Structure 1
Amino acid sequence: MTDPLARLREATERREAAGLRRSVRPRTRDHDGLIDLASNDYLGLSRDPRLIEGAVRATRAWGTGSTGSRLVTGSTELHGELDRRLAAFTGSPAGLVFSSGFLANLGAVAGLSGPGALVVSDQVNHASIVDACRLSRARVVVTPHRDVAAVERALMERDEEHALVVTDAVFSVDGDLAPLRALHRVTRRHGALLIIDEAHALGVVGPNGRGAAHEAGLAGEPDVVLTLTLSKSLASQGGAVLGAPEVVETLVDIGRAFIFDTGLAPASVGAALAALDVLAAEPDLPERARERAHRLHALTEGLGFETTVPAAAVVPVVLGDPHAAVRATEICAEQGARVGCFRPPSVPTGRACLRLTARASVTEAELTVLEQALQKVRAETSP
């Protein structure tokens, strides 16, 4: 009989040869002694005592788990408060908290489109959006990166009555910003919804970190839907969809990623609420994160690496070859810095890179460590 695992072993060997093997490496409480320039903890709040106390307080009041889907037993008073607070913070009429940002995108895209609709998606959107498009059963058109004219052509040429356009606000690897105002003009002109994933913008972009849509003047527009995650700037876990009451009502009624999933654990809700309190108390945190990101960009560009001017906290260092990216990650670790390593399929072939992420709390000493590490990477990778 055929060995059903043989093809898996062969595929693993091919990934090994291509430099695409991945592994799960648990970190220690002190990040293995490495400075953190890889996580999505953009505001440096993941160990903030105020968030920890918020999580503990919620756990003591409500227990360790939500105990069911939000439509059964999984919605506490805290969940309702977080729905409202996230909506108010981003300038949206209504909000709905999910157990992850991935599921928020699945819920929004699939729940608001479906058979007989058109979904237009940027080619470098996050994997959660890609999977949402595949599951939507709508016709999907993938457009070149940030190409508003291509989006308009897709909307103009459609036969479907209903359409939506979905885009990251800040793209997760290159760190650039979507042309949100131009996209909104096009979607409104053609009667489509615009879904904006604020995952890498919330807490960093816009006044007080209220997000890219808020900064673009789109907050509260009835044809704009926001998705976001609580696991980055808010240093918690979970996601949310924000928009018109009709959007939230629809997802509560038919959103499979909402209906059939266990509600977010109370501890995560409490931590996210505490993070919103911190943002209110320290409105300079988003600007500090952006300033550190620009310092990272200046450092990498000064060393001759291909990079992108950051719109938020993400700074790529493009190396091209996956093996080179893995080795660069190892060099940085040897020098005391943990950085991200992104390879296909996370990025296109030939675009393997390091991904540096700024924190509002990054120090001058940490920047010096990174500079020395990248100098060694440059010396080893230069032709």
Structure 2
Amino acid sequence: MHDFTQELAGLAAQSLARTRHVVDGPQGPVLEVDGQACLSFCSNDYLGLANHPELVAACVSAAAQYGVGAAASALISGHASAHERLEQELAAFTGLPRALCFSSGYMANLGIIGALVGAGDTVFLDRLSHASLIDGARLAGAEFRVFPHNDTARLEQVLARCKSRRKLVITDAVFSMDGDLAPLPELAALCERHGAWLLVDDAHGFGVLGPQGRGSLAHAGLCASRSPHVLYMGTLGKAAGAAGAFVAGHAALLEWIMQRARTYMFTTAHPPMLAAAASAALGVIARDEWRRERLRELARLLRQGLDGLPWRLLPSVTAIQPLLVGDNAAARALAQRLRQLGIWAPAICPPTVPRGTARLRISLSALHTPAHVEQLLAALRHAAGAPS
């Protein structure tokens, strides 16, 4: 039997070994991490809904009605009225004819891609797409083509030459480690012109971007309901504060995915009480515009405050604000120094990001205050040896 001790030591030597931390209490700006209170800038709870009283109340009420677990796949007996209601609400919220819920974003992407393409087909994938999209494309058995990040000219070249029976273009809407946006209008036009599907993973834009938080398609001014080529995937465990994921699109396409997605057919449905919490989240997302306004203001304060420090923020209009460090060891050392100062902002190293681009991934929440951002900036100035 193979002993992985040497390989683990190699990861540690390259500053690539990952460590879990034990968190106590509900998600919020301040977390108890390994017994230490930390100001957290690492959560994807962008709107601050994970501990919102309306979501908690909806979850508790639904637990009394449905119990804890779904107990079966959705196609057996696991599809509760809470799931049915959530799918209808998600379709209306995104402006698309139909929605289908999955237990997680990873499972959704694996299932969607595998249902749409296979041997003899071609998948076109942005180079910085999420791991779940990459794995889904590989597992589908289709030809796999990667195009340079957000390079629509290159994508058009390879699409024009492709003779496959089915073509699927895949992209994140908001790239999770950079915070930048995909050129969705251009991608949608290319797919329309070349007879390809477009799968948009909006895990980090749903709830945050667009009018009333309706997502990146709305933010880009795209009316996806007019195009049967567009599929929209969103997650419910980030800005929505609950758990699970969904895909929305035209009815026939969604019916096909329901019939063929193995990660939908052969796994237990996510608990109805979490579907109820997600339904409650949709109301808060649409109602509380101040949460998105707060995110924009905090990002502005962060960018202003970093002037003169040795690191730079990558361009981002989202809650994801990546502070580029470069070297793996330097990024981990900076993160560790911040932890000593009571700030939790995780270091992200390869293979999650390209070599030489290790960074701190600073995630803002609507529950952060300007004082919290100033505390982070003061810690960064201290770590850089600059005057406070």
Q: Is TM (by shorter chain) over 0.5?
A: yes
Structure 1 CA distance, aligned partners of 2:175 and 2:322?
Answer: 11
1:138 and 2:117 correspond:
no
1:232 and 2:238 correspond:
yes
> Cα–Cα, structure 1 residues 336 and 353, in superposed 2: closer, same or farther, change >3 Å?
same
Structure 1 CA distance, aligned partners of 2:312 and 2:19?
Answer: 27
Structure 2 CA distance, aligned partners of 1:46 and 1:301?
Answer: 32
Structure 1 CA distance, aligned partners of 2:183 and 2:304?
Answer: 23
Residues 145-184 of structure 1 mapped to structure 2, 5 A cutoff: 145-184=149-188
CA contact (8 A) 1:297 1:309 kept: no
Structure 2 CA distance, aligned partners of 1:110 and 1:240?
Answer: 15
Which residue of structure 1 aligns with residue 381 of structure 2? 375
Which residue of structure 2 aligns with residue 294 of structure 1? 300
> Cα–Cα, structure 1 residues 365 and 57, in superposed 2: closer, same or farther, change >3 Å?
same
- State the shift of 1:187 in Å: 0.9
- State the shift of 1:287 in Å: 2.7
CA contact (8 A) 1:208 1:284 kept: no
Partner AA of 1:355 in structure 2: R
Structure 1 CA distance, aligned partners of 2:75 and 2:176?
Answer: 32
Structure 2 CA distance, aligned partners of 1:348 and 1:199?
Answer: 21
TM-score (norm 1): 0.95
Q: 1:34 aligns to what SS in structure 2?
A: strand
Which residue of structure 2 aligns with residue 72 of structure 1? 76
Residues 229-378 of structure 1 mapped to structure 2, 5 A cutoff: 229-378=235-384
- State the shift of 1:290 in Å: 2.8
CA contact (8 A) 2:298 2:370 kept: no
Structure 2 CA distance, aligned partners of 1:161 and 1:329?
Answer: 48
CA contact (8 A) 1:100 1:238 kept: yes
- State the shift of 1:36 in Å: 1.8
Structure 2 CA distance, aligned partners of 1:217 and 1:365?
Answer: 34
Which residue of structure 1 aligns with residue 8 of structure 2? 12
Range moving further from structure 2, 51-60 or 294-303: 294-303
Which residue of structure 1 aligns with residue 24 of structure 2? 28
Range moving further from structure 2, 19-28 or 122-131: 19-28
Structure 2 CA distance, aligned partners of 1:295 and 1:136?
Answer: 44
1:186 and 2:190 correspond:
yes
User: Aligned match of 2:44 in 31, 40, 61?
Assistant: 40
Range moving further from structure 2, 149-158 or 283-292: 283-292
CA contact (8 A) 2:301 2:370 kept: no
> Cα–Cα, structure 1 residues 302 and 184, in superposed 2: closer, same or farther, change >3 Å?
farther
Which residue of structure 2 aligns with residue 105 of structure 1? 109
Structure 1, gaps ≥5 residues long: none
CA contact (8 A) 1:335 1:369 kept: no
Partner AA of 1:292 in structure 2: L
CA contact (8 A) 1:301 1:307 kept: no
- State the shift of 1:115 in Å: 1.4
User: Aligned match of 2:98 in 94, 99, 107?
Assistant: 94
User: Aligned match of 1:116 in 101, 116, 120?
Assistant: 120
CA contact (8 A) 2:212 2:287 kept: no
Structure 1 CA distance, aligned partners of 2:243 and 2:344?
Answer: 22
- State the shift of 1:192 in Å: 0.5
Structure 1 CA distance, aligned partners of 2:86 and 2:202?
Answer: 16
CA contact (8 A) 1:294 1:310 kept: no
CA displacement, residues 202-241 of structure 1 (integer Å, 9 cap, x when unaligned): 1111111111111222232321101111010001110111
- State the shift of 1:280 in Å: 2.8
TM-score (norm 2): 0.94
- State the shift of 1:73 in Å: 1.2
Q: 1:176 aligns to what SS in structure 2?
A: coil
CA contact (8 A) 1:336 1:369 kept: no
Structure 2, gaps ≥5 residues long: none
CA contact (8 A) 1:297 1:310 kept: no
> Cα–Cα, structure 1 residues 267 and 298, in superposed 2: closer, same or farther, change >3 Å?
farther
Structure 1 CA distance, aligned partners of 2:17 and 2:11?
Answer: 6
CA displacement, residues 17-76 of structure 1 (integer Å, 9 cap, x when unaligned): 000111211112261211121100000111111111111111111010011100011100
Structure 2 CA distance, aligned partners of 1:119 and 1:297?
Answer: 37
CA contact (8 A) 1:331 1:376 kept: no
- State the shift of 1:304 in Å: 4.0
Partner AA of 1:240 in structure 2: F
